[in-house]
């Protein structure tokens, strides 16, 4: 077997790998678009893929820099990245647990891809940012898509979002990301 045959074989193999990767990348984009479309069709309160024109303004007391902002009164989250235009990357409604964190600035200290919430529901995209009086506060999404408040008498600090919004927050807020809680 001559060197020309070896080079031709290696070139063909490399082209096959590049083609496979291109097809997979194209398919991933199509699957993401299809998932976003089906998530929006599944619920009236469709998750946002960015700031909606009718979304409430970012609270003035939310600080500066790259951050997640949570409004206790508004039950809303904003994802802010001043390095991008627009800096408001997404804003969506959430359902708080039975307890609320104190207003202030925190950092994401722990993340878990899947687990079980204090209320017993299967959850995903858990992003924890503080513990107060024995209650852990963090963002998550119920796997069943439920955003119902916890049962009466159950103390929970889980702030629930729609699944697509939970994915946005998960992707946006690695460990160390600042979380600003406003009144």
Show me where the domains of the chain are located. 1-42, 67-182
Q: What is the pLDDT of residue 33?
A: 40
Domain 67-182 belongs in CATH node 3.40.50.300:
no
Residues β-bridged to residue 131: 136
Q: What is the pLDDT of residue 63?
A: 93
Q: What is the DSSP letter of 25?
A: H
Helix (H, G, I), strand (E, B) or coil at 41: helix
Rounded to 5 degrees, φ, ψ at 104 are 155, -175
Rounded to 5 degrees, φ, ψ at 110 are -160, 145
Which positions of the chain have pLDDT values less than 50?
Answer: 5-48, 52
Q: What is the pLDDT of residue 2?
A: 60
CB 126 within 8 A of CB 138: yes
């Amino acid at each position: 077997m001559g060197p020309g045959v070896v080079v031709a074989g290696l070139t063909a193999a490399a082209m096959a790998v590049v083609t496979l990767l291109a097809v997979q990348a194209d398919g991933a984009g199509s699957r993401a678009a299809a998932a976003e479309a089906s998530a929006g069709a599944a619920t009236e309160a469709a998750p946002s893929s960015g700031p909606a024109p009718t979304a409430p303004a970012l609270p003035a007391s939310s600080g500066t820099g790259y951050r997640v902002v949570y409004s206790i009164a508004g039950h809303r989250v904003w994802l802010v990245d001043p390095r991008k235009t627009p800096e408001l990357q997404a804003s969506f409604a959430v359902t708080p647990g039975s307890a609320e964190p104190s207003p202030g600035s925190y950092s994401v200290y722990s993340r878990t891809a899947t687990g079980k919430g204090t209320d017993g529901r299967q959850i995903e995209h858990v992003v924890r940012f503080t513990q107060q009086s024995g209650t852990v506060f963090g963002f998550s999404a119920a796997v069943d898509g439920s955003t119902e408040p916890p049962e009466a008498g159950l103390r929970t600090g889980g702030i629930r979002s729609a699944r697509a919004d939970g994915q946005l927050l998960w992707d946006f807020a690695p460990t160390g990301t600042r979380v600003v809680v406003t009144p």
